Amino acid sequence: MIQFVLLISRQGKVRLTKWYSPYTQKERSKVIRELSGVILNRGPKLCNFVEWRGQKVVYKRYASLYFCMCIDQDDNELEVLEIIHHFVEILDRYFGSVCELDLIFNFHKAYYVLDEILIAGELQESSKKTVARLIAAQDSLVETAKEQASSISNIIAQATNRRKQSNGSCPIVNGRWLTKLHFPRHSLTEL
């Protein structure tokens, strides 16, 4: 089973953490420190597996983001690579050519997507279409809920939304944030 999922940027910044096994807050930051030290230092042409504390960490780099999943000793590494790719493809579809910035600003949405793909450390949905449909349905629920919210906060929300939009259209930051997570079609993808 998958013990945890980590998204780490090339600079070592954490973008997403999801723990399927109990780790205390202290252990979590220790794990991340250790792993980012190991993974970020690996060269580009090395294999995507790291033996770590009797477990295996499978990672894959997409543009500036490292997607890492920690699995048990007898799990299938290639399968987990597929899961990572699956996750990235769904994110890509959902955000429309996803970039790191999308995950930064919509960190909760990335969690929601992940929740539809994995449950209790197991893959629960292998169909991209289904996941997309479920996420969309939940988003619309959230939207209607927002509309029903009290008028004043509704106004505020709209105001902030407008502001956000204006901000969002112009690149806030330097270009590297906006690099699209490109997918070299994974040589193994057949599932």
Partner 1 sequence: MASPSLMDTLFQRSLDDIIKGFRHQQSSTESIFISRVIEEIRREIKSTDLQTKSTALQKLTYLNSIHFIDMSWASFHAIECISSPTFSHKKIGYLAISQSFSESTPVILLISNQLRKDLKSGNEFEVSLALDCLSRIGTVDLCRDLASEVFILMSSSKVFIRKKAIGVVLRLFEKYPDAVRVCFKKLVESLEGSDSPIVSAVVGVFCELAAKDPRSYLPLAPEFYRILVDSKNNWVLIKVLKIFVKLAPLEPRLAKRLVEPICDHMRKTGAKSLVFECIRTVVTSFSEYESAMKLAAAKIREFLMEDDPNLKYLGLHVISIMAPKHLWAVLENKDVVIQSLSDEDPNIKLESLRLVMAMASESNLVETCRVLVNYALKSDPDFCNEILGSILSTCCQNVYEVIIDFDWYVSLLGEMSRIPNCKKGEEIGNQLIDIGMRVKDVRPELVRIARDLLIDPALLGNPFLHRLLSAAAWVCGEYVEFSRNPVELMEALLQPRTSLLPSSIRTVYMQSAFKILIFCIHSYFLQKEDMASEVSHLASKRECSESSGLATDKALVQSDQDEGFNPRDSNQSYEYPSVVDTGDGQTSTSTFMEKKSTMHESIVNVLNLMELVLSPLSGSLDVEIQERACNVLGFIELVQQEFSNPLIRKEANLDREEEIASRVVEWLHDGFSEELGPVSVTAQDRVPIPDELVLKENLTDLEAICGGVELPAPVSLTSPYYGQSAVFSVSNLQAEEDSEPSTESSSLLTEHRKRHELYYLPSEKNKILANDYPPANDPSSGINTNDATEDLVKLADQSLVSKRKPNHAKPRPVVVKLEEGEAAPVVSKKPELKDDLLSGAIHDILLGNEAKAASSQSNPSDKSSSKRKGKAKHVDLPDSKENLAVGEQPNHENPSSRRGKHRGDGKQKSKKSQGKKNGDGREDDGEKERQKIRDHHGRHKSRQRADAPIKVVPQTPDIPDYLL
Distance CA 183, CA 97 (A): 10
Q: Is 153 near partner 1 (CB under 8 A)?
A: yes
Q: Least distance (Å) from partner 1 to the CB of residue 181?
A: 18
Three state DSSP letters for 94-116: HHCCCEHHHHHHCHHHHHHHHHH
With beta carbons less than 8 A apart as the criterion, state whether 70 and 3 touch. yes
Of 12, 5, 182, 181, nearest to 101 by C-alpha is 181
Q: Is 61 in the site for partner 1 (CB under 8 A)?
A: no
**Residue 74 dihedral angles phi and psi, to the nearest 5°:** -100, 15
The answer to whether residue 170 forms part of the interface with partner 1 (CB under 8 A) is no
**Does residue 1 belong to the site contacting partner 1 (CB under 8 A)?**
yes
Q: Which stretch binds partner 1 (CB under 8 A): 61-69, 88-96, 160-168?
A: 160-168
Q: How wide is the angle at C-alpha 88 spanned by C-alphas 42 and 124, nearest 5°?
A: 115
Among 54, 96, 151, 152, binds partner 1 (CB under 8 A): 152
Q: Which two tokens stand for residue 95?
A: 């955000």
Per rule CB under 8 A, count of chain residues that contact partner 1: 68
| 151: contact with partner 1 by CB under 8 A | no
Q: Does 158 bind partner 1 (CB under 8 A)?
A: no
- Dihedral (Cα; 57, 61, 66, 67), 10-degree rounding: -60
Interacting residue with partner 1 among 120, 151, 169, 184 (CB under 8 A): 120
Determine if 97 is a binding residue for partner 1 (CB under 8 A): no
Question: Pairing between strand 55-62 and 49-52?
Answer: antiparallel
Residues in touch with partner 1 (CB under 8 A) = 1, 13-17, 20, 22, 24-25, 28-29, 43, 45-51, 72, 74-79, 81-82, 104-105, 107-108, 111-112, 115, 119-120, 122-127, 130, 134, 137-138, 141-142, 144-146, 148-150, 152-153, 156, 160, 164, 167, 172-173, 187-188, 190-191
